[in-house]
Structure 1
Amino acid sequence: MTLAAPHINTKNTLSLGYGDHLRFSRLIQKRYGLCFPEKRYPDLERGIRQAFAASTCTDLNEYFDLLQDPDHGAAHFERLINALTVGETHFFRDAGQFDALYSHALPQIIERRRALRTLRIWSAGCASGEEPYSIAISLRQLLPDVDEWSITILGTDINTEALDRARKATYGEWAFREERAKQWQPHYFHRRGKRYELVSEVRRMVTFAQLNLAEGVYPAYETNTTLMDLILCRNVMMYFPEPVTRQIVERFYQALTDGGWLIVGHAEHSLITYQRFQTHNYPNAILYRRADHSSFLPKDWHWLILPPPKEENPAAPTLATPLDTQPISQSPPGLPQNGQPNDSDPIEKACDLLNYGHSARARDLLLKAIEQNPRHAPTCALLGQAYANLGYWQEAEYWCRQATRMDKLALKAYYTLALVLQHQEQLDSAITAMKKVIYIDRHNVLGHFGLAHLYHNNNQLPQALKSLNNAYHLLNGRSEEKVIPDSGGITTASLRETIVRQQQLWSAEANNELKIERTGKGTDDGNSGLES
């Protein structure tokens, strides 16, 4: 038996017009400083579709109003920003830049700091942690006495979901596609099933924190962003308009010590933006360095912008010899020589694609997988999630129901199904599906929180308040910065704040309804309307 994909009904999908792109992009830039010009509208639409699918709104107008609501919108805006700022990265990304770092910048910094044995490094826009962990691994290779140094490696990002993955420090094979990553993987990772867990010695070297580069909260001791020897901010500036980019670069300059280094993405080089820095050219890499005296350009050079280097396929880089002279092993067994992920596990790859916001690619991969194993409930559940992220409600419902028919305890399928049915204005059926989430796992915070919204939308205030209260109590004892599982990056603190405000507003609604009811009864029977 083969489960064929249902015909896509475009009449029943989420549609964004030019006006939607414009109003959402303006709201996002006003609130977070992130810029989505017209050429990046496809990225904007992808993120909106994904975040909208996880909400309980029935249309884009309701969702837009929710984002602007000071009482209810914070957690939903956090989820939208996470969907919009998904950064797909991997270990030792960009061999040319890491060659320059390993052979030139890091040895120079180490020599300059050897007397004090202190290093301070900041990965700004660290995504899921591969970049700062790559720096930590490099330092362990370069420093035989690394544990005797005081080393600060700070990873910051606006995306709370990415930071949660960074703290967990477990990765799939696709994260090791660079040659250097494949060579050092056996030394610094333990295989855990189909994934790789970073050793604790490296994990302890890196700390993570949420930070929006568009905000003026750095450099500051409060954010641990002062006196940096090295700042990496690669492929992040594209999210900001030019004036904000210049402010960020100026703050980086102030955050660096004299002689400190700044590394940006290949497409982000500009003689104008980085004119206060000295430019250092290496094979396939340009690095910037703060000097004691600024290097200003002549006025008639202000038209000049450095083009990004041409894409090439250079041979594997020659690694600088580590100070401990420990030979580097060959590629670990089980990892293909070309660095591509292992196609024998399409489900694992599809999960990674969904995590990075590539729902269409995940859907295509899962459709091939379901042909090979048509009775695999997890594949059907993931297909439901992928179609929901793309705004195809009927197709999402179809695959979620397939998953629940095969597995009566398919919690994630029931949760996605509840949201999909709500988007189709089938509130009673959505409530039934969300109740099954709680039946399967009565400690599921998102299940209680989602059920509260469904009850509220269905004008069942007492039940909504009860579910909201259940969600609130389930948050007790959780770390404020801990991300709620499968929430799209919503933290405990953010969800708790949202719940408290909703409890206040919905309680006021319930009291008003009670007063109206009592007033009506008093008018009917001639009494004052007060309870006897």
Structure 2
Amino acid sequence: MQGDLITDFTRAVRQKTGLVIPEDDLARFQKIIVDRMRIRRIDIGEIYLQLLLGQSDASKAEWKALSLLLTTGESYFFRDAGQMSLLRHKILPELIRKREAEKRLRIWSAGCSTGEEPYTLAMLLTLILPDWRSWSIHLVGTDLNESALDKARAGLYGEWSFRKVDPELRKQFFTPLPDQVWRIDPQIHGLATFAHLNLIEDRYPNVTQNLYDFDLIICRNVFIYFDAPTIAGVVEKLTESLCRGGYFMSGHAEIHGRPSAELASRSHPESIIYQRVEKAPARTLHASAEYSVTPRAPAPRQTQSVAPARSARRSPPPPVAPTSPANRAVSSRVNLSEQWNQIIQLRHKGESEKAASLAVKLVASHPEHTPALMLLAWHNANQGRQSESESLCQQVIKTAPLSPEPHYLLAHIALEQGEEGLAKSLLNKALYLSPKHAPSCLCLADIMARQGDAHRARHMREIALESLAQMAPESRLEFYDDWRVEELAQHLRAQLADGAQ
């Protein structure tokens, strides 16, 4: 088969499914095409190509058959221990609290393959939501591969699907059958529904298919097959399918930067996740005064001559005793402390915009206030304004060269951009400055685990746990998703006990 014709086939596949055929996979791809031509009894490649480009029922049937061969369908239960922990301990509990009054939860696993991911989510929900039967839970898995969906609906799995599963969870949620086959628990099976969907061609959000207004959408290990324009288009449609405040999770390093104007990244120890926010206008570095930290001179007073009323004669004000320099310094420190406490209280209430606005005013009068600068750096990063965030981090490095915090945040930005090597270097720099900086230890542990270095990942988590033991249990780890120290310590102890990577 000639090279130009192979190129036409790969272009047709990309346009129809979004799948990009890598160069080193072209030989396998050509074999698949030839095999399908043989089955269809077509001898000429151009004729088979025309079949794929058509709109007939025969064309649609052929695409279904071809898609089965092009998609791998590789999955397993509780895939990625870090992301599963984030969902179990932070994201799902937050969504449950948010929906407590209406007892309604909507979750979509896009690109669910053979169903392990949606069933994992169903298991997590039953573990953390004791009264889940009284809730209206819509948990749907979609995929391009009809054969994979049939397996998902059957709920029967072999040993390979359990390679990362705690044996106790397997006993709790599955029944063993002959030939090393396991059947999922009927109640878990009943929580999930499955549907065919082409993420590229099909329309969503779609009310008639119940694909809209989701609290959580997970689309992992799908974008690795797509090119950048296709990823952008799919992410936009998925974002529109989220409710305001809903979360979107992709696989590690599958998406770089801020994938949508309405998605803000949220950095967690285990993974980055995105949250739908109101669309913000595009900003350039310090183009807006809203989060500028450059002190501004006060506007000149406009005076106006007003003749006093004859009947309003006022006695002169009593003299004011002069304030000593020492008293002024104490008053300034007290006022600064009060301002910062007010900012922190607003952050803890979730009023991040108000907190950032006050932090800008604080920095205008105290340009070297490191905590306020870091608050603004995190705020900008979470809103997708990475250039502003990086600029603020560099400002902190100049004013507080021994602080690990700016290096830690810069590492998170590097991870969002897919620069894992740079992130490791920045985290090592943070740990050089503060060898027991718990956030840096945990972020580096997550990277090590992904790279298969389980020994070093465990070592970094042990160091983090030692560091947390020296802190007050009820204190918060600022800018680290506001974890309480005891919550994070319990989470770490559970990870270490389970041998999680």
Instruction: Please classify the TM superposition score into its range, dividing by the shorter chain length.
Output: 0.5 to 0.7
Consecutive unaligned residues of structure 2, counting only runs of 5 or more, are: 281-382, 391-412, 421-446, 463-486, 489-493
> Match of 2:418?
306
More RCO (CA 8 Å, sep 6+): 1
Contact 1:48 1:83 (C-alpha < 8 Å) held by counterparts = no
| Distance in 2 (alpha carbons) for counterparts of 1:160 and 1:275 | 33
* Structure 1 counterpart of 2:7: 22
AA aligned opposite 2:106: R
Do the aligned residues in 2 keep the contact of 1:93 with 1:131 (CA within 8 Å)? yes
- Aligned to 1:204, the other structure's residue is in SS state helix
| CA gap 1:282/1:179 in 2 versus in 1, 3 angstroms | farther
Match of 1:241 among 219, 222, 227: 227
Alpha-carbon shift at residue 252 of structure 1 (Å): 1.7
| Alpha-carbon contact 1:132-1:206 (below 8 Å) kept | yes
* Deviation for aligned residue 1:247: 1.6
User: 1:187 and 1:285 mapped to 2: Cα distance?
Assistant: 27
**In structure 2, what is the equivalent of residue 215 of structure 1?**
201
Say whether residues 1:147 and 2:133 are aligned partners: yes
Q: TM-score, structure 1 length as denominator?
A: 0.52
> What secondary structure sits across from 1:196 in the alignment?
strand
Distance in 2 between the 1:125 and 1:71 partners?
24
1:487-506 alignment runs, 5 A limit: none
Distance 1:247 1:61 in 2: 29
SS where residue 306 of structure 1 aligns? coil
Question: Shift of the alpha carbon at 1:188?
Answer: 0.9
Contact 2:76–2:163 (8 Å) recurs in 1: yes
Cα distance in structure 2, aligned partners of 1:17 and 1:285:
44
Cα distance in structure 1, aligned partners of 2:229 and 2:202: 13
The alpha carbon displacement at 1:274 in A equals 4.4
Aligned to 1:432: none
Using the TM superposition, give the Cα deviation of residue 255 of structure 1 relative to its aligned residue in structure 2, in angstroms: 1.2
Change (3 A) 1:68 1:252: closer
Give the alignment partner of residue 186 of structure 1, picking from 167, 171, 190.
171
The residue matched to 2:221 in structure 1 has which SS?
coil
Q: State the alpha-carbon separation in 1 of the partners of residues 79 and 253 from structure 2.
A: 14
Summarize the alignment of residues 408-447 of structure 1 with structure 2, pairs less than 5 Å apart: none
Unaligned runs of 5+ in 1: 1-15, 322-326, 332-336, 339-532
- CA displacement, residues 417-458 of structure 1 (integer Å, 9 cap, x when unaligned): xxxxxxxxxxxxxxxxxxxxxxxxxxxxxxxxxxxxxxxxxx
Q: 1:111 aligns with which of 97, 101, 105?
A: 97
Q: Give the whole-Å Cα distance in 2 for the aligned partners of 1:256 and 1:141.
A: 24
- Separation (CA, whole Å) in 1 of partners of 2:203 and 2:60: 20
Contact 1:123-1:231 at 8 Å conserved across structures: yes
Q: TM-score, normalised by structure 2?
A: 0.56
Contact 1:113-1:119 at 8 Å conserved across structures: yes
Deviation at 1:52, TM superposition (A): 4.8
Whole-Å Cα distance in 1 between the matches of residues 16 and 235 of structure 2? 20
Moved more, 227-236 or 21-30: 21-30
Distance 2:149 2:37 in 1: 22
CA contact (8 A) 2:256 2:418 kept: yes
Letter in 2 for 1:235: N
- Residues 60 and 201 (structure 1 numbering): CA distance in 2 closer, same or farther, change over 3 Å? same
In 2, Cα distance between the equivalents of 1:193 and 1:160? 26
Q: Distance in 1 between matches of 2:33 and 2:82?
A: 35
Rg comparison, structure with higher value? 2
Instruction: Classify the secondary structure of the residue corresponding to 2:253.
Output: helix
Q: Confirm or deny: 8 A CA contact 1:276 1:290 kept in the other structure.
A: yes
How much has 1:151 moved relative to structure 2? Answer: 0.2
Match runs of 1:2-13 below 5 Å:
none
1:176 aligns with 2:166: no
Structure 1 counterpart of 2:64? 78
1:258 aligns with 2:244: yes
Q: Cα gap change, 1:107/1:88 in structure 2, threshold over 3 Å: closer, same or farther?
A: same
